[in-house]
């Protein structure tokens, strides 16, 4: 079992690195030697494509978890760069601080100005720490709530991008009411009279995710995950064995396909050949199209209908056996 995306994709990454070097070499060699190099590059590329086809057609739940966490995957601000026009980031919760693990602001998606909020991770050591690994503190959820409420006042749709391993579990967060902030986030989203769309772009990590994901439409990227607990945690609790994470990932049914089959999400957004990290632009245009279509579908609804639709979307979720329904006394 591979422990990280790097380990799992290593042969592929090596192949891609080889191709890059051959191309560099190709720029520098004499014209009579170029033909041989071209053939070699073509051969490598064919190998790479074949490798991607095989690897990505058989992604198990654990492999998807690794891909969903890949630090080369596009993050919220990347999607904003690709698909949002005239972006203005807005900071702070007006109560305590500006959480760097949740970004928010105003921007245009297609023809519509929207309020956009999403978890933000970092890529290198420094930016990861700066973003607290995408783990938001209470002030992050409170910033989101403030922006949701502003969207409601100005009749702007709300779009959220979900990508967090979990909400921040530290003493600070407990002291400032992380549970209350997450609950309040859901509460605020249920109250919105404007349409909302949430897109799970990477890790949909438990309470940290749902706190900004109570939307009229919930979409998942093909290789994203959405789970009540990380597979490692599940394996540790159930089998006292963190190396059983692959078994736990499968048991938790945390992939986009699972969530769609269980009726918990509305749509899977395709990522293109080899995943979003190989095709950020293509993935972003798929995301943009899906958001626009979702908002088009919600546009005819009144404010009350928007709230009703959202409430019933979540109200109906749950699998229960009810042998003898009791009438209310």
Partner 1 sequence: MSADERIAVTFDPGSFQELDADLASENPLAFPEYAEKLERGFGATGRRDPIVRGTAALDGMRVSVAVSDFAFMGGSMGSVAGEKITRTLELALDERIPAVVFTATGGARMQEGLLSLMQMAKTAGACRRLSDAGVPFICVFTDPTMAGVLASYASLADVILAEPGALVGFAGARVSAQAQVARVPDNFQTSEFNLEHGMIDLVVPRLEMRETLIRILAHVTQRGGREVGAVMA
Binding site for partner 1 (CB under 8 A): 166-180, 182-184, 186-187, 190-191, 206-207, 209-211, 213-214, 226-229, 234, 237-238, 247, 251-254, 258-259, 262, 264, 310-311, 314-315, 317-324, 326, 328-329
Taking the least distance from each CB to partner 1, the nearer of 12 and 251 is 251
Question: Rounded to the nearest whole angstrom, what is the least distance from the CB of residue 171 to partner 1 in the complex?
Answer: 5
The HSE-up count of residue 266 (CA atoms within 13 Å, CB side) is 21
Please state, in angstroms and rounded to a whole number, the distance separating the CA atoms of residues 148 and 115: 7
Question: Rounded to the nearest whole angstrom, what is the least distance from the CB of residue 271 to partner 1 in the complex?
Answer: 20
Taking the least distance from each CB to partner 1, the nearer of 254 and 276 is 254
Question: Considering just the CA atoms, what is the radius of gyration of the chain in Å?
Answer: 22
Question: Rounded to the nearest whole angstrom, what is the least distance from the CB of residue 282 to partner 1 in the complex?
Answer: 27
Please state, in angstroms and rounded to a whole number, the distance separating the CA atoms of residues 213 and 312: 15
Copy the structure tokens of residue 33: 């030697």
Taking the least distance from each CB to partner 1, the nearer of 88 and 171 is 171
Identify whether the C-beta of residue 184 lies closer than 8 Å to the C-beta of residue 145.
Answer: yes
Question: Rounded to the nearest whole angstrom, what is the least distance from the CB of residue 303 to partner 1 in the complex?
Answer: 13
Size (the chain), residues: 329
Taking the least distance from each CB to partner 1, the nearer of 173 and 245 is 173
Question: Rounded to the nearest whole angstrom, what is the least distance from the CB of residue 135 to partner 1 in the complex?
Answer: 8
Taking the least distance from each CB to partner 1, the nearer of 116 and 178 is 178
Please state, in angstroms and rounded to a whole number, the distance separating the CA atoms of residues 246 and 237: 14
Residue with token string 């057609």: 57
Copy the structure tokens of residue 318: 């749950």
């Amino acid at each position: 079992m591979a422990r990280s995306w790097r380990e799992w994709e290593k042969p592929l990454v090596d192949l891609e690195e080889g191709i890059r070097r051959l191309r560099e070499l190709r720029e520098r060699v004499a014209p009579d030697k170029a033909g041989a190099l071209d053939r070699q590059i073509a051969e490598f590329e064919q190998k790479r494509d074949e490798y991607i086809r095989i690897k990505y057609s058989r992604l198990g739940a654990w492999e998807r978890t690794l891909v969903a966490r890949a630090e080369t995957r596009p993050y919220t601000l990347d999607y904003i760069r690709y698909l949002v026009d005239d972006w203005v980031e807005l900071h702070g919760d007006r109560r305590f601080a500006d959480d760097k693990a949740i970004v928010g602001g105003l921007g245009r998606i297609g023809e519509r100005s929207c309020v956009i909020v999403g978890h933000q991770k970092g890529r290198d050591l420094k930016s990861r720490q700066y973003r607290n690994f995408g783990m938001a503190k209470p002030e992050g959820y409170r910033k989101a709530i403030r922006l949701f409420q502003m969207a409601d006042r100005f009749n702007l749709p709300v779009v959220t991008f979900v990508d967090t391993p979990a909400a921040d579990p530290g003493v600070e967060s407990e002291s400032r009411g992380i549970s209350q902030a997450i609950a309040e986030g859901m509460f605020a989203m249920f109250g919105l009279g404007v349409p909302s769309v949430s897109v799970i772009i990477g890790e949909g990590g438990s309470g940290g995710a749902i706190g900004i994901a109570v939307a009229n439409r919930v979409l998942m990227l093909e290789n994203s995950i959405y789970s009540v607990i990380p597979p490692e945690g599940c394996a540790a609790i159930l089998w006292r064995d963190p190396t059983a994470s692959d078994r736990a990932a499968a048991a938790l049914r945390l992939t986009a396909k699972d969530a769609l089959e269980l009726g918990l999400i509305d749509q899977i957004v395709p990522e293109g050949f080899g995943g979003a990290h190989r095709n950020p632009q293509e993935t972003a245009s798929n995301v943009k199209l899906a958001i626009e279509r979702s908002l088009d579908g919600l546009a005819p609804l009144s404010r009350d209908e928007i709230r009703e639709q959202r409430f019933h979307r979540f109200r109906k979720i749950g699998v229960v056996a009810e042998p003898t329904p009791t009438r209310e006394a």
